[in-house]
A = this chain, B = another copy of it.
Amino acid sequence: MTPRPRAVVVVTGSELVRGERTDLNGPFLAREALKHGLEPARIAIVGDSPAELETALRDALGADAILVSGGLGPTHDDRTVEMVARVLGLPLVVDPELEAQIESVSRAAAVRMRRDYADFAPGVTKQATRPSTALSLGLAGTAPGLLIPRDDGRVVVVLPGPPGELQRLWPNALETEAFRALLARTQAPGRRVFRLFGVSESAVARALAEAGGDGDGVEVTICARDFEIHVDFVVEPKADARADELERDFLAPLGQWLYGSDERGVEEHVLELCRARGLTIATAESCTGGLVAARLTSVPGSSDVVLGGIVAYSNGVKERELAVPAGLLAEHGAVSAEVAAAMARGARERLGADVAVSVTGVAGPGGGTAEKPVGLVYMHAEGPDGCLGRELSFPGDRAAIRARSVVIALHLVRALLARSRDEPV
């Protein structure tokens, strides 16, 4: 099997390299590269400094495809085209056709903004300047996307920084003869996704090792993400049989923790389990403050299953809105298994839902005691066929404790519904 052509993405923008804005172009170009059979090897983000940009481009010269974004504007600090020409050893030329196109766009802009076209003219010439062998991919505003073929069938693609514009011009790059020739050397890989919950990353890694490990055309990534374990198989063409075998042996000891074989999150599984049985659901949240309800309602069409929820942050709201007995709160405290159970029951009854899930805990940083420290969380799920409760003790800060509580609460409902489905009580 020949290795996939390597793609390196170079993103330029001072606000990006300083972390003031999140780069979207690198991930987009990487996903596209992978989808078309290239291997995304690196995403490099640099600022407007010509020296840093030049270095990043030089470091990318070994790649089969260099995908560059940003730095195409009309002003002096937009140096991408100049630097690309320099590292490729190509002269710069003013492209008369491009210049005519950009002039036409700029004249229209000058009229619209009631400004003199003379203000725009130097920028027009600057933006119509390209490495001698470059092809235009079309304009984004006044900035042209460019493709520069290299020796050995390699290419450099230069695209504008605004993500919408970049995504609009990208297909034009794919359609050039040079890029098609590059893609003809490769075949897009297949992908298999597995999601597990309740098992450690190391146990999953051991299962993979015991199943023979990856390789032979199947690359496996194991990734702890959002308090779950996500496993990706990237399957080379013709490695499907090997992938089938590995999948079988790998999953055999992990079956009880496998909850999905696609990209859907746990909230989608909960909704689907409810929908399949015609059940409605409601939430009762204290420390998660609405995040469980928000996650369930993040799914389009969730309104046929989710009735709503009560965020019962104060004890008064727990009593009045969820009918948690004051005596229970006094005896066990708001953070207790008893109150979690009462909250779930209260939500079912008050909101008229078939299923309810509750969370109450100490998210911190304040409010912890020796008996009930920060990170102690109780959750409870109640449905028509029974209930499940859990006591947990989470590390981390307030945001981590809340985020983890949401995931585990949703898995608790999922487990309750899956159990009900498999073994009706």
Give A contacts to B, CB under 8 Å. 13-22, 24, 26-31, 34, 40-49, 52, 55-56, 59, 73-77, 109, 113, 115, 119-120, 123, 141, 162, 164, 168, 198-203, 205-206, 209, 213, 221-225, 230, 232, 282-283, 285, 287-294, 296-298, 300-303, 306-314, 316-317, 320-321, 350-352, 364-367, 395-400, 402
Contact = CB atoms under 8 A, between A and B. Distances in A.
A164 B205 contact: no
Contacts of A73: 201, 224
Contacts of A26: 19, 45
Q: Say whether chain A's binding surface is mostly helix, strand, loop, or mixed.
A: mixed
A48 B221 contact: yes
A28 B21 CA distance: 10
Nearest to A204: B75
A75 B300 contact: no
A321 B201 CA distance: 43
Nearest to A281: B313
A40 B18 contact: yes
A34 B19 contact: yes
B47 A40 contact: yes
A75 B222 contact: yes
Contacts of A398: 298, 300
A289 to B, nearest CB: 3
Given A14-B221, A46-B41, A290-B294, A321 B203 contact: no
A298 to B, nearest CB: 7
Contacts of A56: 42
Interface centre among A40, A48, A297, A316 (most CB of B within 10 A): A297
Contacts of A198: 113
